[in-house]
């Protein structure tokens, strides 16, 4: 049940859940992310009618795509070849691979340059075939 304070009507997460049929978790996420403007009083969120109206009247903005910076690490696959070469582009990686005498001794580690998360590990010959 919404709370009335003078002419102001405040809606809790429970009220919005019942009115909109959204999960309480989603409503809280919208409030935390600022998609719906609200205020926290104690441990509970409250939203005004105006904030709800504003949310529905705003055109939805598409989230910008984050361009991922990638790096390519050419490395030997066994103890016989200990070379490691870091490349910034596919062309640079291809050039590095093509300069190797025995391509089958190498692999390419595709890495997110920001987080250093390994996105893919691929045999050198497969990398060349994919990008030629």
pLDDT of 66 over the 80 cut: no
Reported confidence tier of residue 79, pLDDT bands at 50, 70, 90: confident
| CA separation for the pair 11, 61 (Å, rounded) | 25
Please give the pLDDT value at position 63. Answer: 64
- Residues 53, 82, single domain; the answer is no
Mean pLDDT for the chain? 89
Phi, psi of 130 (to 5 degrees): -65, -35
Could you give the residue ranges of the DSSP H alpha helices within the chain? 13-20, 24-33, 49-57, 90-98, 124-131
Q: What is the pLDDT of residue 65?
A: 64
In the predicted model, is pLDDT for residue 46 greater than 90? yes
Look up the domain containing 16 and give its range: 3-57
- Domain harbouring 34, CATH code: 1.10.10
Residue 115 within a domain: yes
The pLDDT of residue 120 is 93
At residue 7, the 3 state secondary structure works out as: coil
pLDDT band at 85 (very low <50, low <70, confident <90, very high): very high
């Amino acid at each position: 049940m919404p709370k009335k304070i003078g002419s102001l009507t405040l809606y809790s997460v429970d009220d919005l859940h019942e009115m909109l049929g959204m999960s309480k978790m989603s409503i809280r996420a919208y409030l935390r992310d600022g998609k719906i403007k609200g205020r926290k009083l104690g441990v509970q969120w409250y939203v005004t009618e105006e904030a709800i109206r504003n949310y529905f009247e705003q055109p939805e903005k598409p989230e910008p795509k984050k361009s991922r910076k990638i790096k390519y690490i050419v490395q030997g696959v066994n103890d016989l070849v200990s070379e490691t070469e870091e490349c910034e582009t596919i062309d640079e990686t291809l050039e590095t691979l093509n300069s190797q005498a025995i391509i089958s001794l190498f692999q390419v580690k595709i890495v997110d340059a920001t987080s250093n998360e390994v996105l893919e590990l691929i045999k050198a010959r497969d990398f060349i075939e994919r990008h030629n």
